[in-house]
Homo-oligomer: A and B are copies of this chain.
Amino acid sequence: MAKTIAERADVVPLLAEVFREYGFDGASLSVIGERTGLGKGSLYHFFPGGKEEMAAAVLQEIDRWFEAEIYKPLREATDPRAAIDGMLRAVDDYFRSGRRICLVGAFALDNVRDRFAAAVKGYFAEWRSALASALERAGCSPDLAHALAEETVVAIQGALVLARALDDTAVFARSIEATRAKLAAAIDHKH
C-alpha cells in the first residue's frame, strides 16, 4: 500500500490531544485543521459525521487503549496484585502525572455528556469492574472489591481535577501513592 498521505488512524491521536486541550466546543474546526495539518476537505473525508464523529473516534480509541493496557490485564493476569501495580503505573504514565486530563472525565462534566453518555458510562463501568475483578482474585470479598475499585477510580479522577486546579502534579502523585498503599493493605489483610 506504500504511502498514503494520511490515514484516519494517524489523525485520531492528534484529535484526542486537541479535544483534551480545548474541550469539545472549544475545539473549532480551524484549530483542528491547524493541529492535524489537514484541511476541512480531508477532515470531512475521514469523518463524514463532522466533529461528533471525530470525538466518537477519539473515545473509541481511548476505550481500545484502556481495554488492552488496563482492563484486560486486570481481568486476566495470573498475578492480580502485579496487575494492579501495573495499572497504577500505566495510569500515572498515561495522565502524565496529572499534567494530562482525562478526556472522558471532562466530557462527563461537560454539556456534551448526553451526546456521548454511553461511551462515558462504559469507560468508567468497565474500569471499575475490571479492577474489582482483580481485587477479588487477589482475595477480597466481592463487596470489598467493588467498594475499593470504585474508591480507586474516584481517587484517580478527583486527583486529576485537583492537580489541574492547583497546577501541582504532586497532588496526583500523592493520590496515586495513597491508593496503591490502600489497595496493597487491603490485599494483604485479605478480608
Residues on A lying within 8 angstroms of B by beta carbon are 21-23, 25-26, 101, 104-106, 108-111, 113, 117, 120-121, 123-125, 147, 150-151, 153-162, 164-167, 171, 174-175, 178
Contact = CB atoms under 8 A, between A and B. Distances in A.
Q: Name, among A109, A156, A166, the residue most crowded by chain B CB atoms within 10 Å (CB to CB).
A: A109
Contacts of A26: 25, 110-111
B165 A23 contact: no
3 tightest A-B CB contacts, nearest first: A158-B158, A154-B158, A108-B165
A167 B160 CA distance: 20
User: How would you classify the secondary structure of chain A's contact residues: helix, strand, loop or mixed?
Assistant: helix
A109 B109 contact: yes
A22 B147 contact: no
Contact of A178 (B22, B111, B151): B151
A158 B153 contact: yes
Query: How many monomers of this protein are in the complex?
Result: 2
Contact of A147 (B23, B123, B153, B174): B174
A161 B25 contact: no
Contacts of A106: 109-110
Contacts of A120: 165
A1 to B, nearest CB: 37
A10 to B, nearest CB: 24
A121 B22 CA distance: 19
Contact of A150 (B23, B150, B156, B174): B174
A174 B123 CA distance: 20
